[in-house]
A and B are shown apart, each in its own frame.
Chain A
Amino acid sequence: MKIAVTTIGETLGAAIDLRFGRAAKFILLDTETGVFEVVDNTQNLNAAQGAGIQAAETVVRLGAQYLITGNCGPKAFRTLQAAGIQVITGAEGTVGEAVERFKAGGLKPSSAPNVEGHW
């Protein structure tokens, strides 16, 4: 399975970026092989509007089945949901820790956005 995680860094030891739409980067981790790639999100960081929607499109294009992040607003959530991506909010710590917690069942997919837009 492929998991996208929002982060401020470029390694599994880097901290989670609590923002989704305006996250600095995504790490796309293939849990079967342990191989990950870093995807830049700078373009969205500076978007006037619709950052969450476009970030969601990026995650869809990357082929992730799960997204782990801190907070996810309504428009991004709707977009991810339409593409069948499970959204896990409320993650903290490092990317690696969040992924381990998720795999151990400590983080569950949400059924709704956990913040308002533009929080």
Chain B
Amino acid sequence: MIIAIASGKGGTGKTTVAVNLACSSIADSVRLLDCDVEEPNCHIFLNPEIQRCEIVGIPVPEVDENKCIACSECSRICQYHAIASLKTKPLVFPELCHGCGGCTKICPTGAISEIRQEIGVVEFGRYDNIEFVHGRLNIGQAMSPPLIRAVKQNVAANGITIIDCPPGTSCPVIAAVKDSDYVVLVTEPTPFGLHDLSLAVETMRELKIPFGVCINRADTGDLKVVDYCRQENIPILLEIPDDRRIAEAYSRGQLIINVLPEFKSGFQKMFDRIAEYYHEARGH
């Protein structure tokens, strides 16, 4: 079962929910994938011992001038304008390349080959019963989905995988939540939280992934998020109170459930509700 923790708005507490949910599990082994590769944070809570590191690259074109006939086909097919065809050898802009391979395939003279350009790393570690994997995108690199997909190749074949997603509703989020069995949308009870939650809800409906909501700092703000969920028939899986002790634990990089064990059951109940939904949906 794959559970993705996402949100429209940034800073709502995705990482907090992801790590506390993972650590509340009574399963023998849980895999936690931090797919917020631009600013991975899960490791700050878990301090896992990193055992292995893999470099991730995307294929970018290299043009053999002797074979190029300046037909411009490569430039015509590239939607990202990463290759410019002039009267001479095409110019390549690797920073714009999405690594789709289209130019290599369409070149009639086989003048384009692919070289790998590093975009980041995937690191593997362990903390207690958690198998930890995260991606770290190189600074200045605009293209995170290929790295997110590389992290997600480590989804557990059986058992539980929890994915911490980047915020928003664009390509990196889609790459992170894709193929999940369930998405938890973390929000806060403010006009900002509500606005961005509604965007995230639209996204999940478009992707046809079942989802529920977790309201963080639940007793602040207003009741509009609760009303919205009721109207839209969206389950509220967990409400985390605006408790100073939680904020203090967070500020020290500690897990809520370690400092305040009474909150563990809330995360476990959320997990059980998702598991129940998952098994029902699969008819067993």
A57 within 8 A of B: yes
- Contact: B81 with A51, CB < 8 Å? yes
B63 within 8 A of A: no
> Which of A1-9, A26-34, A77-85, A96-104 lies at the interface with chain B?
A77-85
Chain A residues whose C-beta falls within 8 Å of the C-beta of B87 in the assembled complex = 60, 83
- Asked if A57 meets B75 with Cβ closer than 8 Å, knowing A49-B81, A82-B88, A83-B87, the reply is yes
B162 within 8 A of A: no
- Contact: A57 with B85, CB < 8 Å? yes
A23 within 8 A of B: no
Q: Which residues of A in the span 43-88 have a Cβ within 8 Å of any Cβ on B?
A: 47-51, 53-54, 56-57, 60, 75, 78-79, 82-83
CA distance A82 to B88 in the complex (A): 8
B82 within 8 A of A: yes
> How many residues on chain A are close to B (CB under 8 Å)?
15
Q: Mark B81-94, 1 if CB is under 8 A from A, else 0.
A: 11011111001010
Chain B residues whose C-beta falls within 8 Å of the C-beta of A60 in the assembled complex = 86-87
- Contact: A79 with B82, CB < 8 Å? no
Chain B residues whose C-beta falls within 8 Å of the C-beta of A50 in the assembled complex = 80-82, 93, 96
Q: Write the chain B residue with the least CB distance to A56.
A: B84
CA distance A51 to B88 in the complex (A): 20
Chain A residues whose C-beta falls within 8 Å of the C-beta of B84 in the assembled complex = 53-54, 56-57, 79, 82
Q: Mark B73-116, 1 if CB is under 8 A from A, else 0.
A: 00100001110111110010100100000000000000000000
- Contact: B86 with A79, CB < 8 Å? yes
> How many residues on chain B are close to A (CB under 8 Å)?
12
Main secondary structure of the interface of A (DSSP, over half): helix
Chain A residues whose C-beta falls within 8 Å of the C-beta of B75 in the assembled complex = 57
| Interface contact tally, CB-CB below 8 A | 38
Most buried by A among B81, B87, B91: B81
Chain A residues whose C-beta falls within 8 Å of the C-beta of B81 in the assembled complex = 47, 49-51, 53-54
Q: Write the chain B residue with the least CB distance to A63.
A: B87
Chain B residues whose C-beta falls within 8 Å of the C-beta of A78 in the assembled complex = 91
Q: Write the chain B residue with the least CB distance to A81.
A: B91
- Contact: B86 with A49, CB < 8 Å? no
Q: Write the chain A residue with the least CB distance to B98.
A: A49
- Contact: B93 with A53, CB < 8 Å? yes
Q: Which residues of B in the span 205-250 have a Cβ within 8 Å of any Cβ on A?
A: none
CA distance A56 to B86 in the complex (A): 9
CA distance A36 to B255 in the complex (A): 69
**B85: min CB distance to chain A, Å:** 7
**A86: min CB distance to chain B, Å:** 15
- Contact: B80 with A83, CB < 8 Å? no
CA distance A48 to B78 in the complex (A): 12
CA distance A69 to B227 in the complex (A): 54
CA distance A53 to B82 in the complex (A): 8
Chain A residues whose C-beta falls within 8 Å of the C-beta of B93 in the assembled complex = 50, 53, 75
- Asked if A57 meets B80 with Cβ closer than 8 Å, knowing A50-B93, A50-B96, A78-B91, the reply is no
Q: Which of A47, A48, A49, A82 contacts B91 (CB 8 A)?
A: A82
* B interface with A by C-beta (< 8 Å): 75, 80-82, 84-88, 91, 93, 96
* A interface with B by C-beta (< 8 Å): 47-51, 53-54, 56-57, 60, 75, 78-79, 82-83
Identify the 4 closest CB pairs spanning chains A and B, nearest first: A50-B81, A83-B86, A53-B81, A79-B84
